[in-house]
Amino acid sequence: MNINFNILSAAKSTLKAESDAITKAIDFLNDDFLNAVTAIFNTKGRLIVTGIGKSAHIGQKIVATLNSTGTPSMFLHAAEAVHGDLGMITKNDIILCISKSGNSPEIKVLVPLLKRDGNILIAMTGNSASFLGKNADFVINAYVEKEADPNNLAPTTSTTVQLALGDALAVALIEMRNFTANDFAKFHPGGALGKKLLLRINAILDTNNKPAVKTTSTIQEVIFEISNKRLGVTAVLENNEIKGIITDGDIRRMLEKTTDLSAITAVDLMTKNPKSIDLSSKVEDALNIMESFEITQLVVTDNNQYAGIIHLHDILKEGIVS
């Protein structure tokens, strides 16, 4: 190994080259990009993304992003297309072909086949004058001066620009569709992200374990209820109406002030007008309230009636936050 080789220098120069290339790609955006996005938005079919080599891997990522943000897409490997996979393309589909050179043998064979039924062809290439560029309806310019590797061979800068342009395409379509967080949630029901977007309090609240005392309850009764229900808090009710809450911290602070417990009742300890949330609300909303007010428990109501207590630990167990 070259003892003068500097790992950090190589890493920094790579990131600098790629970031510079993305910055330059901004200036290449033109009416073709606008028309390509508009065509994809208006199509009654899907977007078929194809490519070969490293461009194929980028194409698969672009398809995944588009599908998750409301643009139905499919990936077609350029090498497999001529062995039967062309059958996945319907007359209403639009095709995005990704190729750095636009002149690879596989692309030259494929392009006429993609065009034969009149489908709109969008090229994403670093060479607008290539075979692909000349035969495309719209060209998204992905030109880069050189790759980041010292031999100018390994697809690095070029694939980074392709990836960034794919993201730009997806975000432009998100804007056109007015695609919201609720729409996003429909396509991401699984995992932590799905839970964060979709999970409701009623799905995790233990309504059989809802600590409650009366305003007239003694301190001993309050302590027993908090200890028994193991949520560190109890609601204080009067005629089934929430009057306040008492936390174990409230009890500790009271004991610092006095040791005479004989005359103390729940109404003397409670915090009035506690923070609350409706049973049908998202768990994410409960978490946001807890973080905003630096609390770990939240009163849950159902039609303004006491339904229970949701604790931060309940949310953590669901894997929504870590």
Quick one: fold of 201-317? CBS-domain (3.10.580)
**Cβ atoms of residues 49 and 63 within 8 Å:** yes
Supply the pLDDT for residue 192: 60
Q: List the chain domain ranges.
A: 7-179, 201-317
Two tokens, residue 89: 């393309």
Q: Is 216 helix (H, G, I), strand (E, B) or coil?
A: coil
Q: Is 27 helix (H, G, I), strand (E, B) or coil?
A: helix
Side-chain half-sphere CA neighbours of 69 within 13 A: 22
> Which of 189, 195, 187, 190 is closest to 319 using CA atoms?
195
Supply the pLDDT for residue 243: 94
Can you spell out the DSSP letters for 107-161? HHHHHHHHHTT---EEEEES-TTSHHHHH-SEEEE---S--SSTTS-SSSHHHHH
What's the CA gap between 64 and 62, in Å, rounded? 5
Supply the pLDDT for residue 306: 95
Which CATH architecture group holds 7-179?
A: 3-Layer(aba) Sandwich (3.40)
What's the CA gap between 28 and 211, in Å, rounded? 63
pLDDT by position in tens, the chain (length 322): 566 678 899 999 999 999 999 999 999 999 999 999 999 999 999 999 999 999 999 999 999 999 989 899 999 999 998 888 999 999 999 999 999 999 999 999 999 999 999 999 999 999 999 999 999 999 999 999 999 999 998 999 999 999 999 999 999 999 999 887 776 766 666 656 666 677 899 999 998 899 999 999 999 999 999 999 999 999 999 988 999 999 999 888 888 887 777 788 999 999 999 999 999 999 989 999 999 999 999 999 999 899 999 999 888 888 776 5
Supply the pLDDT for residue 261: 72
Can you spell out the DSSP letters for 46-86? -EEEEE-THHHHHHHHHHHHHHHTT--EEEEEHHHHTTTGG
User: Burial of 4 by CB count in 10 Å (0-12 exposed, 13-18 middle, 19+ buried)?
Assistant: exposed
Phi/psi-derived region of residue 261, left when phi > 0, alpha when psi is between -120 and 50, beta in every other case = alpha
Entry pTM: 0.69
Supply the pLDDT for residue 188: 63
What's the CA gap between 58 and 51, in Å, rounded? 8
> Which of 42, 79, 36 is closest to 166 using CA atoms?
36
Determine how β-strand 94-99 pairs with β-strand 271-272.
Answer: unpaired
Amino acid at 57: H
User: Burial of 53 by CB count in 10 Å (0-12 exposed, 13-18 middle, 19+ buried)?
Assistant: middle
Compute φ and ψ for 176, nearest 5 degrees: -65, -35
What's the CA gap between 309 and 234, in Å, rounded? 8
User: Burial of 168 by CB count in 10 Å (0-12 exposed, 13-18 middle, 19+ buried)?
Assistant: middle
Supply the pLDDT for residue 194: 65
Supply the pLDDT for residue 240: 84
**Cβ atoms of residues 289 and 267 within 8 Å:** no
What's the CA gap between 151 and 140, in Å, rounded? 26
What is the radius of gyration, based on Cα positions, of the chain?
Answer: 30
Supply the pLDDT for residue 315: 86
User: Burial of 312 by CB count in 10 Å (0-12 exposed, 13-18 middle, 19+ buried)?
Assistant: middle
